[in-house]
């Protein structure tokens, strides 16, 4: 599974399954906080997905429940 962050204007984060046959999106959401273009790379650490957009840092809980 891969997190894909579309930019510079879209701001969509997708979770995709990578397979030899191709990619399939399993979920997506829109980054709505922050401003400007989406340039920063997402980071996964300690069960959280971190995304910086402009002057805002957002942490999403992605730990398995």
What is this structure's pTM?
Answer: 0.84
Q: What pLDDT sits at residue 8?
A: 85
pLDDT band at 31; cut points 50, 70, 90: very high
pLDDT band at 61; cut points 50, 70, 90: very high
Mean pLDDT of 39-53: 94
Q: What is the DSSP letter of 29?
A: E
Q: Where are the domains of the chain?
A: 2-61
Please give the Cα distance from 1 to 17 (Å, whole number). Answer: 5
DSSP bridge partners of 30 = 12
């Amino acid at each position: 599974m891969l997190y894909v962050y579309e930019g510079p204007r879209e701001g969509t984060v997708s979770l995709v399954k990578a397979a030899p046959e191709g990619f399939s999106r399993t979920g997506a959401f829109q980054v709505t906080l922050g401003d400007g273009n989406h340039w920063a790379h997402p980071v996964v650490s300690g069960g959280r997905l971190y995304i910086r957009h402009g002057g805002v840092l957002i942490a999403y809980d992605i730990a398995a429940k």
